[in-house]
């Protein structure tokens, strides 16, 4: 029996298909929104100044080589630019397990099998709550004042389709027809016409929150981006072969322009290859990004994506909005204890490592990380060691500049649940978005969030 | 005009396989196995004649196909237009005809990005092939009314009610005279008026079709172009450009640049201009003279355009089109056929950078990949010289300079020296041979000609 729901896997597949086709969505059920950014053209591009292979979206009429200069110019301003990292917990994380109301009399009634023990990891801001045992790293961040918790965030009349609710979060409005992401609209207004790194998806395909109409944004194409693959060659022979690229290119000197071009280029290419070997995996295991702190070692790419992100920021690349999926499958209809523990553990440990990393690199005051999920889960567990789709869920805001005080509340479960048995939202997610845009990016939220004035502003940044 | 006035220097040195090989690269897509030796036997004059006046069109080798063995659909399937033409370059026996078709594709650079029809692009391609060494004036007239060009540079949007200068400007700036060489903004506007009258129909599901000249849309009024007055039409517009005093020098210089990377000596330039005019704008004599010029054989090397590089590797390896990968591989290297970057064509000075270098590496690897030696099955000799010779044979024995040979041999010895165990001594020679094939293909000797 699959542990996640059919709709969930289908919507993942659809998104995959959309990203790969780059245009159009296969016929899906009526009423499902089309993912933001679906209509953007996509072109592949190697950013020579960085050696990153990117898929650039929304390049429009701009010729790709022009991005070289745009990125370099933007990089000149980068050291002072704020950065927002969006980390998505895919599937709807169970907020009542992440922060479990262990002393609430209704908790054990609703969760007879899944309830967590009450001894572990106290949540200092609310004595009734305990962190999930696998969320010790998040607790550490919280104790240090670097994590703001939104225990019940969402919107009224929550849609319980993964696809639709996620779309609402991505576009920053409960509007199925909106085709641009909330950060994409920010970049359209405040971004540059020539710097695709300003909106960078780290999962290899456009993250819908970054979908723009005009401003170019990019997705890293994959792990091996500047890699010289030699068929039928490996080991020591391959190593020697790569060492030969530059001497070979220069074998005939640089006596005329063509020979100079090949000599120069092969020298550059060989140098770039070795510089980027860290980004390109391959034979060197271990610390590929020169990270000053250890990241969790895991087959998932999530730790290395954040490690790479820290390295890119340290290298001065002009990133502004970054989006990626966290490790884990949070659509825990069955077998929740294991799945959730694994996801939370690696995600939390990686986020802590990332925070430590940017602190050690002196970048921490420039970076905020938003962790979100499309909804929470049903208060009452189901019959298969799992929980079904709910309404309000949890969000986290991480960084040295956050205020670190809980926003919203988790009332007694008796009062916290709606008629369907789902958590009611104490904070609207658009309050979070508008406040972030204004306080972090110093940007008038009305330019990115429909009806921005309607939403109460939250004090997020100190 | 007396013949003596139009004489240009002719290469008098040895015409051996080395010279024949360069000629085949510059005037085509490199030699097939043994072809340089065969061409050298004809002598320079015979070799150039063999290229400019080739025999009946033939295609040698297996027909092109996609990964699943299906025939190409060049008018319909994305990228198959590129494969279709690449196949002609690889298998055709008229290399200069394909090369001149490429020259005209670059000269009158039309991109399917703006045309949106592989069918019309291939139709334009046939036009270039038909006029390959014929009259430039005839070619220009044909291009001016070519449907793909009419779409690309707004020819069918240019009417007497709403003149559009797009084609008029490029006609002079890029196709016949050169920027700022003897025409004014007023000439651009007046030329645009002369060029009015083309139109096309459009139908859902078919797209643009029925391209034609419609007298109703043509501005029949008086125009003043290059200081001359007349009721000029589109044919006059073309002829006025070709007969403009700036045209022969533009034509000769531009055409020369496709074959030889340094400017022609002044006397040669002048002689070629005279021959061009005296020959009523025939291209063949000019190309023949360029192909016999000493600078082609004694002058500096040229970086091969990506498509020439790719076609040449396939010819050398005796391989046909059996994968669709060539389209994106060549695009990565900077040259997808039918998609020049803009109306000025590809920039021949900027083929190489770190990204396109990697793409060329991948192109070479895509050729070697199908036939890599498996060290478990093949026993390659533990001998640097033999390994290099074997690897060269993979590419049809291209000539290597002594310097490149030295670097490759030094590499081979280093790589073999890493075999410090018996199993490595058995298996590494095959790996080294694989790697040598790849390295030869990215050496300066094969990336330039």
| Three-state SS annotation for chain B | CCHHHHCCCCCCCCCCHHHHHHHHHHCCCCCCCCHHHHHHCCHHHHHHHHHHCCCCCCECCCCCECCCCCECCCCCCCCHHHHHHHHHHHHECCHHHHHHHHHHHHHCCCCHHHHCCHHHHHHHHHHHHHCCCCEHHHHHHHHHCCHHHHHHCCHHHCCCCCCCCHHHHHHHHHHHCCCCCCCCHHHHHHHHHHCCCEEEEEECCCEEEEEEECHHHCCCCCEEECCEEECCCHHHHHHHHHCCCCHHHHHHHHHHHCCCCCCCCHHHHHHHHHHHHHCCCECHHHHHHHHHCHHHHHCCCCECCHHHHHHHHHHHHCCCCCCCHHHHHHHHHCCCCCCCCCCCCCCCCCCCCHHHHHHHHHHHHHHHHHHCCCCCCCCCCCCHHHHHHHHHHHCCCCCCCHHHHHHHHHHHHHHHHCCCCHHHHHHHHHHHHHHHHHHHHHCHHHHEC
A155 at interface of B, judged by CB pairs closer than 8 A: no
pLDDT tens digits in sequence order for chain A, 462 residues long = 445 565 555 445 444 433 332 222 333 444 567 777 766 776 666 666 666 777 777 765 455 667 777 777 887 877 789 999 999 999 999 999 999 999 999 999 999 999 998 777 999 999 999 999 999 999 999 999 999 999 999 999 888 888 889 999 999 999 988 889 999 999 999 999 888 889 988 887 789 999 998 888 887 754 446 788 999 999 999 999 999 999 999 999 988 999 999 998 898 788 777 766 655 544 444 566 778 999 999 888 899 889 889 988 887 888 999 999 999 989 898 889 999 999 999 999 999 999 999 999 999 999 999 999 999 999 999 888 899 889 999 999 999 999 999 999 999 999 999 988 999 999 999 999 999 999 999 999 999 999 999 999 999 999
Given an 8 Å threshold on Cβ–Cβ distance, is B358 in contact with A228? yes
Q: Above pLDDT 90, what percent of chain B?
A: 87
The alpha-carbon gap from B384 to the nearest alpha carbon of chain A, in Å, equals 13
Given an 8 Å threshold on Cβ–Cβ distance, is B302 in contact with A258? yes
Q: Which fold has domain A6-17+31-225+293-454?
A: Alkaline Phosphatase, subunit A (3.40.720)
Q: Which of B261, B362, B434 sits opposite A258 (nearest CB)?
A: B261
Number of A–B residue contacts, CB under 8 Å: 135
Give me the pLDDT at residue A215, please: 87
Given an 8 Å threshold on Cβ–Cβ distance, is B448 in contact with A258? yes
Q: Which of A243, A252, A265 sits opposite B404 (nearest CB)?
A: A252
Q: What integer best gives the mean pLDDT of chain B?
A: 95
Give me the pLDDT at residue B259, please: 98
Task: Using the structure block, give the residue that is written with the tokens 């050169």.
Answer: B178
Give me the pLDDT at residue A46, please: 65
The alpha-carbon gap from A7 to the nearest alpha carbon of chain B, in Å, equals 33
- Over residues B366-377, the mean pLDDT reads 94
Given an 8 Å threshold on Cβ–Cβ distance, is B444 in contact with A252? yes
The alpha-carbon gap from A268 to the nearest alpha carbon of chain B, in Å, equals 6
- Over residues B262-269, the mean pLDDT reads 96
Given an 8 Å threshold on Cβ–Cβ distance, is A237 in contact with B418? yes
Give me the pLDDT at residue A4, please: 59
- Enter the pTM of the model: 0.69
A254 at interface of B, judged by CB pairs closer than 8 A: no
The alpha-carbon gap from A38 to the nearest alpha carbon of chain B, in Å, equals 21
Given an 8 Å threshold on Cβ–Cβ distance, is B341 in contact with A63? yes
The DSSP bridge partners found for residue A47 are: A52
The alpha-carbon gap from B322 to the nearest alpha carbon of chain A, in Å, equals 18
CA distance B171 to B122: 21
Which has more confidence, B5 or B125? B125
The alpha-carbon gap from A51 to the nearest alpha carbon of chain B, in Å, equals 8
A259 at interface of B, judged by CB pairs closer than 8 A: yes
Give me the pLDDT at residue A6, please: 57
Given an 8 Å threshold on Cβ–Cβ distance, is B442 in contact with A265? no
Q: Which residue of B has its CA nearest to A54?
A: B355
Q: And the tokens for B211?
A: 């391209």
Which chain B residues are closer than 8 Å to A237 by Cβ? 415, 418, 428, 431-432, 435
Q: Which of A230, A235, A265 sits opposite B357 (nearest CB)?
A: A265
Which chain B residues are closer than 8 Å to A268 by Cβ? 353-354, 357
Residue B24 binned pLDDT confidence (cut-offs 50, 70, 90): very high
CA distance B97 to B301: 22
Give me the pLDDT at residue B6, please: 63
Window 30-49 of A: residues touching B by CB (8 A cutoff) are 44, 46, 48
Contact between B117 and B208 under an 8 Å Cβ cutoff? The reply is: yes
Given an 8 Å threshold on Cβ–Cβ distance, is A228 in contact with B261? no
Domain ranges of chain A: 6-17+31-225+293-454, 235-276
Give me the pLDDT at residue A273, please: 76
Given an 8 Å threshold on Cβ–Cβ distance, is A231 in contact with B361? no
A262 at interface of B, judged by CB pairs closer than 8 A: yes
Q: Tell me what ipTM this predicted complex has.
A: 0.93
| pLDDT tens sequence across B378-423 | 989 999 999 999 999 999 999 999 999 999 999 999 999 999 999 9
| pLDDT tens sequence across B114-160 | 899 999 999 999 999 999 999 999 999 999 999 999 999 999 999 99
A244 at interface of B, judged by CB pairs closer than 8 A: yes
Give me the pLDDT at residue A286, please: 55
Give me the pLDDT at residue A44, please: 65
**Predicted confidence (pLDDT) at residue B190 exceeds the cutoff of 60:** yes
| pLDDT tens sequence across B318-356 | 999 999 999 989 988 889 999 998 888 998 877 987 778
The alpha-carbon gap from A273 to the nearest alpha carbon of chain B, in Å, equals 9
Window 83-112 of A: residues touching B by CB (8 A cutoff) are none
Which chain A residues are closer than 8 Å to B403 by Cβ? 251-253
């Amino acid at each position: 029996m699959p542990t996640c729901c059919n709709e969930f896997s289908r919507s993942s597949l659809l998104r995959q298909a959309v990203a790969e086709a780059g245009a159009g969505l296969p016929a899906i059920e009526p009423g499902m929104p089309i993912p933001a950014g679906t209509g953007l053209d996509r072109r592949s591009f190697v950013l020579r100044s960085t050696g990153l292979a990117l898929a650039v979206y929304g390049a429009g009429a701009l010729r790709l080589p022009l991005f070289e200069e745009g990125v370099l110019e933007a990089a000149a301003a980068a050291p002072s630019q704020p950065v927002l990292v969006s980390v998505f917990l895919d599937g709807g994380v169970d907020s009542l397990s992440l922060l479990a109301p262990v002393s609430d009399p209704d908790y054990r009634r609703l969760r007879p099998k899944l309830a967590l023990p009450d001894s572990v990891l106290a949540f200092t801001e609310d004595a009734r709550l305990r962190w999930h045992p696998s969320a010790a790293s998040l607790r550490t961040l919280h104790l240090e004042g670097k994590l703001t918790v939104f225990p019940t965030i969402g919107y009224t009349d929550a849609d319980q389709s993964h696809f639709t609710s996620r779309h609402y979060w991505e576009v920053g409005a409960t509007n199925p027809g909106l085709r641009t992401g909330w950060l994409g609209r920010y970049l359209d207004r405040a971004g540059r016409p020539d710097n695709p790194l300003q909106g960078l998806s780290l999962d290899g395909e456009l993250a819908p929150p970054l979908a723009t109409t005009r401003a170019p944004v990019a997705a890293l194409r994959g792990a091996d981006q500047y890699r010289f693959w030699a068929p039928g060659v490996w080991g020591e022979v391959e190593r020697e072969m790569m060492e030969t690229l530059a001497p070979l290119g220069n074998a005939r000197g640089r006596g005329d322009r063509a020979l100079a071009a090949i000599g120069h280029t092969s020298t550059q290419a060989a140098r770039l290859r070795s510089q980027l070997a860290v980004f390109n995996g391959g034979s060197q295991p271990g610390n590929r990004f020169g990270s000053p702190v250890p990241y969790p070692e895991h087959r998932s790419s999530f730790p290395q994506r954040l490690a790479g992100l820290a390295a890119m920021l340290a290298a001065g690349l002009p990133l502004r909005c970054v989006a990626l999926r966290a490790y884990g499958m949070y659509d825990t209809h069955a077998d929740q204890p294991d799945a959730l523990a694994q996801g939370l553990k690696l995600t939390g440990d990686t986020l802590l490592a990332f925070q430590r990393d940017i602190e050690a690199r002196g970048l921490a005051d420039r970076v905020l990380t938003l962790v979100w999920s499309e909804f929470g889960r049903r208060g009452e567990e189901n019959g298969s060691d799992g929980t079904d789709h709910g309404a309000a869920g949890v969000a986290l805001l991480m960084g040295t500049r956050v205020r670190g005080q809980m926003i919203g509340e988790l009332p007694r479960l008796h009062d916290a649940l709606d008629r369907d048995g789902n958590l009611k939202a104490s904070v609207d997610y658009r309050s979070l978005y508008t406040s972030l845009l204004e306080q972090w990016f110093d940007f008038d939220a009305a330019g990115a969030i429909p009806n921005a004035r309607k939403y109460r502003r939250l004090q997020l940044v100190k | 005009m007396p013949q003596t006035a139009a004489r240009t220097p002719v290469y008098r040195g040895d015409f051996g396989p080395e010279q024949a090989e360069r000629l085949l690269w510059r005037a085509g897509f490199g030699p097939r196995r043994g072809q340089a030796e065969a061409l050298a036997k004809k002598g320079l004059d015979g070799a150039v004649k063999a290229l400019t006046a080739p025999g009946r069109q033939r295609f040698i080798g297996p027909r092109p196909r996609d990964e699943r063995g299906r025939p190409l659909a060049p008018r319909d399937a994305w990228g198959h237009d590129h494969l279709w033409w690449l196949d002609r370059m690889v298998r055709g026996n008229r290399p200069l005809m394909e090369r001149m078709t490429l020259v005209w594709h670059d000269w009158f650079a039309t991109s399917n990005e703006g045309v949106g029809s592989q069918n019309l692009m291939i139709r334009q391609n046939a036009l270039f092939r038909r006029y390959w060494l014929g009259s430039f004036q005839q070619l220009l007239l044909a291009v001016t009314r070519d449907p793909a060009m009419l779409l690309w540079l707004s020819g069918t949007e240019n009417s007497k009610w709403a003149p559009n200068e797009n084609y008029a400007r490029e006609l002079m700036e890029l196709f016949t005279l050169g920027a700022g060489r003897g025409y004014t903004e007023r000439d651009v506007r007046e030329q645009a008026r002369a060029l009015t009258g083309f139109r096309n129909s459009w139908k859902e599901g078919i797209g643009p079709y029925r391209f034609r000249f419609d007298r109703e849309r043509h501005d029949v009024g008086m125009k003043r172009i290059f200081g001359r007055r007349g009721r000029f039409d589109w044919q006059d517009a073309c002829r006025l450009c070709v007969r403009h005093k700036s045209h022969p020098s533009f034509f000769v210089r531009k055409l020369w640049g496709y074959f030889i990377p340094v400017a022609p000596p002044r006397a040669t330039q002048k002689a070629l201009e005279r021959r061009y005019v005296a020959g009523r704008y025939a291209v063949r004599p000019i190309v023949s003279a360029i192909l016999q010029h000493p600078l082609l054989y004694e002058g500096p090397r040229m970086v091969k355009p990506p498509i020439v590089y790719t076609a040449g590797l396939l010819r050398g390896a005796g391989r046909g089109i059996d994968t669709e990968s060539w389209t994106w591989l060549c695009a990565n290297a900077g040259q997808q056929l039918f998609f020049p970057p803009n109306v000025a064509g590809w920039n021949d000075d900027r083929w190489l950078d770190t990204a396109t270098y990697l793409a060329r590496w991948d192109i070479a690897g895509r050729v070697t990949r199908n036939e890599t030696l498996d060290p478990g099955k093949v026993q390659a000799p533990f001998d640097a010289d033999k390994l290099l010779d074997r690897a060269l044979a993979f590419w049809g024995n291209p000539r290597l300079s002594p310097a490149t040979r030295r670097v490759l041999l030094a590499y081979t010895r280093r790589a073999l020296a890493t075999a410090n165990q018996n199993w490595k001594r058995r298996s590494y020679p095959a790996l080294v041979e694989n790697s040598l094939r790849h390295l030869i293909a990215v050496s300066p000797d094969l990336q330039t000609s």
